[in-house]
Structure 1
Amino acid sequence: MPGVNQDQSDKDSEPFVEIDPTGRYGRYSELLGSGAVKKVYRAFDQEEGIEVAWNQVKLRNFSNDPSMIDRLYSEVRLLRSLTNKNIISLYNVWRDEEHNTLNFITEVCTSGNLREYRKKHRQVSIKALKKWSKQILKGLDYFHTHDPCIIHRDLNCSNVFVNGNTGQVKIGDLGMAAIVGKSHSAHSILGTPEFMAPELYEEHYTELIDIYSFGMCLLEMVTLEIPYSECENVAKIYKKVSSGVRPQAMSKVRDEDVKAFIERCLAQPRSRPSAAELLKDPFFYEVVDDDDDGDDENA
């Protein structure tokens, strides 16, 4: 088969800079994105012949807390068992002892994250924004009704990914997810300040913090502005969030139905609806469901 010829003189071939322990996945040098503790590289699945994402977490960031490393590893392993079309698939995970990294392979979306995609395509109908929103909520509903319950804890537009040729949207960057089981309660403070619910700062919260973050995502989708961008630092964001002051971007939302829907998501925890409840909201009545035959994706 000519396809398996690995002639090193072929100038068009791109060399791997790293290969996983199984020999299946090869990493390229091209960086797709990076965060505080993680870098994401373009990679290739030699068995399936598809491009994937190679996520690398430097464990030295958690060197003062070995239990955090174990927890991160066990949570990522659990996430590998999740199957939902609105959640980025996790294919493999392993720890590299020599380089002190945690590595995991995920699917890659053609059009990058929703923040970049929305900036690139500025003329988008409310109908399209609703389609994206509905898919994000379906992913959250899967997390929140899973046994054990999973809280994403860092939902924002840079953690939602898009296949631009189909309009499919998937939640990714699950490295901060908390598995909370029957208690539905978590305690550690982490996330992206602009998208963090007020109760998250109080270190006692449930999966409804993801609904708050979703509301902020929708606000960003509508206004093309990161919430609380008027604040100079995290302390000022915290002060506004904890005192219930909405971001200035809310004043830019002209559609009253959209504004009311966002407000539902940002409500106090006791009156904040679940993902399942929001999916039944009249806000989505005009959005054709895509569960069965993919009609929504081709609309």
Structure 2
Amino acid sequence: MMPSVNSDDPSDKDSEHFTEIDPTGRYGRYSELLGSGAVKKVYRAFDQEEGIEVAWNQAKLRNFSNDPTMIDRLYSEVRLLSSLNHNNIISLHKVWRDEENNTLNFITEVCTSGNLREYRKKHRHVSVKALKKWSKQILKGLDYLHTHEPCVIHRDLNCSNLFVNGNVGQVKIGDLGLATIVGKSHHAHSILGTPEYMAPELYEEDYTEMVDIYSFGMYVLEMMTLEIPYSECDNVAKIYKKVSAGVRPQALSKVRDLEVKAFIERCLAQPRARPSAAELLKDPFFDGLVDDDENDDTSS
């Protein structure tokens, strides 16, 4: 029997009460919001069985009542997440649909330090070595997704959906809401993503998992410069124009470290010339970097 939500115990006045509990009574949601996007809200929550904090993701389905494809996409995100198992990808614990409130709910692991964009802003003095360690973990996650059967393309990789456990320097890829599962051809055909991070071929609606490598290059650029790529553009049309014409973001000229700059350029190359995640992991860029998780380097 799980402890009840409300208690009359006077010593209980300092404890937080759950706003909502999942149908099994295992997970309790607090009112504190961890993040909010166009599709869903993410709340702090608690797994009473394991005694650990988790994230409660909630999508209001009524917002998409006229858009069944969006509901399908949400369901497929969740189904997809539940089949993945890797140290550098946010794991999913449970999913259910609340018919009464017309919400889709899923419990995922939570990263204590939030997303990399906020974390990097907070900690301005980060060595290139630390950035390389983060980058290597992201590439391991991407390699897992891209070599998964079937292949998974994230399509919206950027610094706001890369999450960090700052106490151990562990980075995980999250928010697979725009991920797509592609068959053996590895080709996908719909335009989605964050404009500043989108590869030119994404706009042309014919692309492979290499779009994630381009986005990864933009992530390295943002981490180096603390600037969102193409921040010189004040609208999406201008970004699209520059990306399509192969014009690099101004931030790239601010990267003084030539090794890092060359590494970013490799990621932003034409699709056929772009290295895979597995190839990038073997890049001399990572030479001399010892993995903290060398012993449990495989799936969690």
Give the shorter-chain TM-score range. over 0.9
Alpha-carbon distance between aligned partners in 2 of 1:252 and 1:294, rounded to the nearest angstrom? 37
Question: Which residue matches 1:232?
Answer: 234
- Residue 173 of structure 2 aligns with an amino acid whose one-letter code is I
Displacement of 1:183 after TM fit?
A: 2.1
What secondary structure does 2:295 align onto?
Answer: coil
What secondary structure does 1:150 align onto?
Answer: strand
Gaps (5+ residues) in structure 2?
none
Question: Which residue matches 2:48?
Answer: 46
- Alignment of structure 1 residues 52-131 onto 2, 5 Å: 52-131=54-133
Displacement of 1:4 after TM fit?
A: 5.8
On the 8 A contact 1:75/1:179 being kept in 2, the answer is no
Gaps (5+ residues) in structure 1?
none
Displacement of 1:182 after TM fit?
A: 1.4
Alpha-carbon distance between aligned partners in 1 of 2:265 and 2:237, rounded to the nearest angstrom? 23
- Residue 75 of structure 2 aligns with an amino acid whose one-letter code is Y
On the 8 A contact 2:73/2:177 being kept in 1, the answer is no
Match for 1:256 among 239, 244, 258? 258
Question: Which residue matches 1:29?
Answer: 31
Alpha-carbon distance between aligned partners in 2 of 1:129 and 1:78, rounded to the nearest angstrom? 28
What secondary structure does 2:45 align onto?
Answer: strand
1:156 has 2:158 as partner? yes
Alpha-carbon distance between aligned partners in 2 of 1:75 and 1:224, rounded to the nearest angstrom? 30
Question: Which residue matches 1:242?
Answer: 244
- Residue 271 of structure 1 aligns with an amino acid whose one-letter code is A
Alpha-carbon distance between aligned partners in 1 of 2:288 and 2:66, rounded to the nearest angstrom? 51
Q: 1:242-285: CA deviations, max 9, x gaps?
A: 11111010011000110000000001111111000000000000
Match for 1:209 among 199, 211, 215? 211
Alpha-carbon distance between aligned partners in 2 of 1:107 and 1:80, rounded to the nearest angstrom? 12
- Residue 259 of structure 1 aligns with an amino acid whose one-letter code is K
Q: 1:215-266: CA deviations, max 9, x gaps?
A: 0000000000000111101111111111111101001100011000000000
- Residue 63 of structure 1 aligns with an amino acid whose one-letter code is S
Displacement of 1:102 after TM fit?
A: 1.4
On the 8 A contact 1:155/1:210 being kept in 2, the answer is yes
Identity of matched residues, %: 84
- Residue 274 of structure 1 aligns with an amino acid whose one-letter code is S
Displacement of 1:11 after TM fit?
A: 0.4
What secondary structure does 2:191 align onto?
Answer: coil
Displacement of 1:110 after TM fit?
A: 1.0
Q: 1:77-131: CA deviations, max 9, x gaps?
A: 1211211000111111111222222111111111111001111111111000000
1:220 has 2:248 as partner? no
On the 8 A contact 1:89/1:106 being kept in 2, the answer is yes
CA RMSD of aligned residues (A): 1.7
Q: TM-score, normalised by structure 2?
A: 0.94
Alpha-carbon distance between aligned partners in 1 of 2:164 and 2:267, rounded to the nearest angstrom? 22
On the 8 A contact 2:27/2:48 being kept in 1, the answer is yes
Displacement of 1:294 after TM fit?
A: 7.0
Displacement of 1:290 after TM fit?
A: 3.5
Alpha-carbon distance between aligned partners in 2 of 1:202 and 1:64, rounded to the nearest angstrom? 27
Question: Which residue matches 1:284?
Answer: 286
Displacement of 1:13 after TM fit?
A: 1.5
- Residue 162 of structure 2 aligns with an amino acid whose one-letter code is V
Displacement of 1:175 after TM fit?
A: 1.2
